[in-house]
Structure formats: structure tokens, C-alpha cells
Copies of this chain bind each other. A is one copy, B any other.
Amino acid sequence: MSDTRWLSDEEQDVWRNFAAATSMLQAHIEAQLQREGGMPHTYYEVLVALSEAPGRTLRMSELADARFSSRSRLSHAVARLEANGWVRREACPTDKRGAWAVLTSAGFAALEAAAPSHVETVRQSLFDPLSPEQVEQLGEIMAAIRAKMSPSCEAAMEECPSTQSC
């Protein structure tokens, strides 16, 4: 780890723009959703995943994988969503350890209510500032980063199996 490959000035510039833009964008979306939808962004995504699943139902672990979330985080999240009446837990008959998370109609309604302004916020803050070419470039760039990330997470898992965050 000696001989650090430091960032060049240009790379430093890109990195700082990236860090600033993504964190501002994230904060912006989070705040909007909290204000107008009454939920954090992660919970919104949980509701989206459930709404797209057959029967609006998913196993807890499938839900965690779908959202790249740790099981612990999801467990806390579903606990709160259940307290809100937006999600219901059901026991799994074939695997008694398992649990299903079911989107309630109140949960679906909350999602429908929150969606339009959320989408508008995403469009305004992410797509409107970019040209069509840039949108396409961004898609490829993010796909490349994801592709690189997943294997390195698996590698981390092998050398340190306690890691829960991948």
C-alpha cells in the first residue's frame, strides 16, 4: 500500500464534482420525499419493489437483495412500515424461519400519492440539466461502475464473511 496512486488534478476535480453533485442530489431527493411523501427514500424504494412483485409480496431476503440493502436495515425498515400500516408481515408456511412482506392497500396508496412529485424532482434535478447524449453516457458510466463494484464486493465477502453491506 506504499506508493499511493494519488489523483491527478483533473481526477481530483472530477471526484469533487462527483461527490458534491451526488450528495446534493441525494439530499435534495431525500428531503423532497420526506416533506411531501412522509417517508425516506429507502422506504419509498421498498414500497416500489413490493408494488412490482407478483401479489405485491416478497420474502424479506429477496427484498433486501432487490434494494442492495442489509437484512438488518430491511428488518428495521419493514418494522416501521408495518407500524405505518403500509406493509404487513406474513409467516411463510414452507420455511418457518422465513417471512413475507406484503404491501397493503394503504401502502400502495401512499406510494401512488408520493410518486408524481418524486418523479418530477428526479427529472428536474437529474435529467433536465443533461443533454440526451449525456444521459446515455451517464447510463453507461453507472453500469460500468456497478459491474466493477459487484465482483469486488464478492471478493470482500470471501476474505471477510462478516461483511453484511454487499
Contacts and interface: CB of A to CB of B under 8 A. Distances in A.
A62 interface: no
Q: Would you call the interface of chain A mostly helix, strand, loop, or mixed?
A: helix
Within the oligomer, what is the number of copies of this chain?
2
A64 interface: no
Contacts of A68: 20, 23-24
Interface string A25-37: 1111001000000
A129 B116 contact: no
A125 B148 contact: yes
Interface stretch (A53-61, A76-84, A99-107, A131-139): A131-139
Given A4-B116, A5-B123, A145 B25 contact: yes
28 contacts: A1-B116, A1-B117, A2-B116, A7-B119, A7-B122, A7-B127, A10-B135, A14-B139, A14-B142, A15-B126, A20-B146, A21-B143, A21-B145, A24-B68, A24-B146, A24-B153, A25-B149, A28-B149, A28-B152, A31-B163, A124-B152, A126-B145, A129-B148, A130-B144, A130-B145, A134-B144, A138-B138, A138-B141
